Amino acid sequence: MNVVIFNGSLKHQTQLGPIQVAIEQEFKSRNMKTDSFVMNQIKIISCTGCFKCWDTTPGICTGVKGDAGEEIKKKVVNCDLMVLLTPITFGGYSSELKKIIERLLGTLHPGVQIIDGETHHLKRYDSYPSILAIGISENSDEDEEELFKTLIYRHSLNFYPPVYKTHIIKKDEEVRQDRIKQMIDEMELKK
């Protein structure tokens, strides 16, 4: 089983580091291979919205060059679980994490279909990874936390994960290994 972990902390933030380490340790104890990316330490250029990944070079971004986006996208396409670890910013991802999320657009097909009365992009690939999203709430703002949960739900509709879960951790909350284990157990991962 392959896991990709995205740490979306901003340069001045340190609280996600210990959580990332705890997650990595839990996967290691389960003999799962992990690739971790601390997004503020990796060159990722924002999506330009050129849509070349849809209509010119299907699935491959050629509108942005000189960064790690394509290498990371290949890891995501071939993983079983994607972990999104981010401070909650106005109910959404951090700007660092948002850059790679937007660059994953090419993993979907430009064609659309109607599902439950909503328009969704078609799958480009046969399978997609499950998603475990962990948001760190700085303000204990219930509306912001609910908005984050809704964002993950909406993205799950368009990213087709077999399983997705969202967890909120309060800024000053101690995160013990048993809580991390419980979060991962809830994903019902198959080796």
Q: Is 140 left (phi over 0), alpha (psi -120 to 50) or beta?
A: left
Phi, psi values for residue 88, rounded to 5°: -80, 125
Q: Which two tokens stand for residue 96?
A: 């660092």
The pTM of this model reads 0.93
Q: 40 pLDDT exceeds 70? A: yes
- Say if CB 127 and CB 107 are below 8 A apart: no
Per residue in 41-77, pLDDT tens?
999 999 999 999 988 998 899 889 899 999 999 999 9
pLDDT value for 191? 55
- Per CATH, the homologous superfamily of domain 2-185 is Flavodoxin domain (3.40.50.360)
Cα(18)–Cα(185) distance, integer angstroms: 19
Q: What letter represents residue 22's amino acid?
A: A
Any idea what DSSP says for residue 168? E
pLDDT value for 190? 66
* Cβ atoms within 10 Å of 120's Cβ, excluding its own: 15
Share of the chain above pLDDT 70, in %: 99
If you average pLDDT over residues 143-163, what whole number do you get? 94
